[in-house]
Amino acid sequence: MSAPFTFTLPPELSAKEPPERRGISRDQVRLLVIDRASGKIRHSRFDKIDTYLRANDLLVFNSSRTLPASLRGCDCSAAHGPCMEVRLAERLPDDSWLALLLCEQGDPFGCGLREGMQIDFAEGLNARVMARDENISRLWKLRFSISGSQLVDLIYRLGKPIRYEYVSAPWDLDYYQTVYATEPGSAEMPSAGRAFTWKLLLDLKRCGVDAAYVVLHTGLSSYMDDELDRAHPASEEEYFVSRTTAAKINRAREIGGRVIAVGTTVVRALESVVDETGRVKEKQGYTRLKIDKQHRLKAVDALLTGLHEPEASHLDLLSAFLPAEKIRAAYEEAIRRKYLWHEFGDLNLIL
C-alpha cells in the first residue's frame, strides 16, 4: 500500500508540550481550514471555529476517555526475568487485552518475550501472556488476574499515559483528556477534540450547532516498528453509537445541517453504521473499516482532525474527503507556515 503522497515532517514541527504549557489556552491552537469543493485554504485559530459553522450543523465527538495505558511489569515466570513496558492497545470481547510489550533494556523486542510468560505488576496485579495477535504481530494477547472495573481501578493506580519520544516531559493524564471524555478505554487520546472547551461547546450550542457523542476506544498509533507502522494495518476498534446520537445525526441531515466528525475515529464509527440511504443506526460492535479515496462518504460531511504523519492510512482517510493533490497542497502550506503536528498540535478542518 502506498500513501497518496509523501512528505518529510521537520522534527521541530512536532508539538512537544500541551498548548497550556506553551503559553496559550487549549482552544488557541491554529486551525487550517480546507474547503472541500474548491480546495481553498484559510488560516485561522481554533477558538474562531464558529466562523466556519452554521446553525443546524452537528459536531460528533468521540467521548472515549484516555487510559493511563502504559504499565511497568516484569517477567516472573523465570529467575531474573526481564522487565518491560506494557502498552495496552485494546480490550477484547472476552475481557482479555491486546498489548505491545517493550523490553526495558536493549532491543525493545529482544528480551525473550514469549507465550506463557507471566508478567507481575505492582499491587498484586499480574497477567498471563497468551499468544501473538494474528493481525498485528507485535501485539500480544494478555489475560489479567482481575477484570472489569477492578482492573480499571488498578490501571489508574499503576499506569501512566503512553508517551512518544517527541513529547518533552511525562505530562499528567489530565493533559491527555478531552473536556467531554466519559467512559475509559482509549490507549491514546482521541486528540482531534482536545481543543474544545466547555465554554466553546455551550457557545456553539447557543448558535444552533449541537453536539452528539459516539464512543470508539482508540488503539495504538505506533507499534514501535518502522516497517509495521509504515504498513499500518487497520486495527479492529470497538465502537458504540447510541440511539440518541443516531437520531441527532439523521435529524441534522433532514434539516440541512452538516455532520462534522471530530476525529478520524468518528468517521470510522459512523461510516460503519450507515446504510446505503445515508441513515445512521444505533449499534455497538467492532470495526475494521478501511476508508480511502474509493470510499463514498455517506454519514459524514466534514472532518475536524489533527495533522497526520507521512504514512498511508490516515492520509488515505483524508482522501475520501478531497483529492490527494489538494491535501498535499494544504500540507505543504502547513509545513511552510510551521503548523504543529501530533496530539498537542494544531488542527485541520475539512468542510
Q: What is the binding site for other proteins (CB under 8 A)? A: 63, 65, 67, 148-149, 152-153, 156-157, 173-174, 179-185, 198, 202, 205-206, 211, 213, 215, 244
Q: Which is nearer to other proteins, 146 or 234 (CB)?
A: 146
Residue 300 is classified by DSSP as -
Residue 330 C-beta: closest distance to other proteins, Å: 32
Q: Is 75 helix (H, G, I), strand (E, B) or coil?
A: strand
Strand pairing of 30-34 and 347-350? Answer: parallel
Is residue 17 a contact partner of residue 168, using CB atoms and an 8 Å limit?
yes
Q: In angstroms, how far apart are the furthest CA atoms of the chain?
A: 66
Residue 78 C-beta: closest distance to other proteins, Å: 32
- For residue 100, the surrounding DSSP H or E stretch is strand 97-103
Give CA–CA dist 65/152, Å, rounded.
12
Residue 217 C-beta: closest distance to other proteins, Å: 11
Residue 166 C-beta: closest distance to other proteins, Å: 25
Q: Which is nearer to other proteins, 44 or 250 (CB)?
A: 250
Residue 287 C-beta: closest distance to other proteins, Å: 19
Q: Which is nearer to other proteins, 211 or 334 (CB)?
A: 211
Give CA–CA dist 204/180, Å, rounded.
15
Q: Which is nearer to other proteins, 173 or 224 (CB)?
A: 173
For the four alpha carbons of 216, 350, 47 and 56, in that order, the dihedral sign comes to: negative
DSSP string, 258-278: -EEEESHHHHHHHHHSB-TTS
Q: Which is nearer to other proteins, 183 or 226 (CB)?
A: 183
Q: Which is nearer to other proteins, 82 or 184 (CB)?
A: 184
Residue 198 C-beta: closest distance to other proteins, Å: 8
142 DSSP β-pair partners: 97, 129
Q: Which is nearer to other proteins, 87 or 138 (CB)?
A: 87
Q: Which of 289, 293, 281 is nearest to 5 (CA)?
A: 293
Residue 220 C-beta: closest distance to other proteins, Å: 19
DSSP E strands in 171-326: the ranges are: 184-186, 210-216, 237-241, 259-262, 283-287, 302-306
C-alpha cell, 345: 498540535
Residue 191 C-beta: closest distance to other proteins, Å: 16
* Amino acid at the residue 208: G
Give CA–CA dist 65/187, Å, rounded.
9
Q: Which is nearer to other proteins, 172 or 226 (CB)?
A: 172
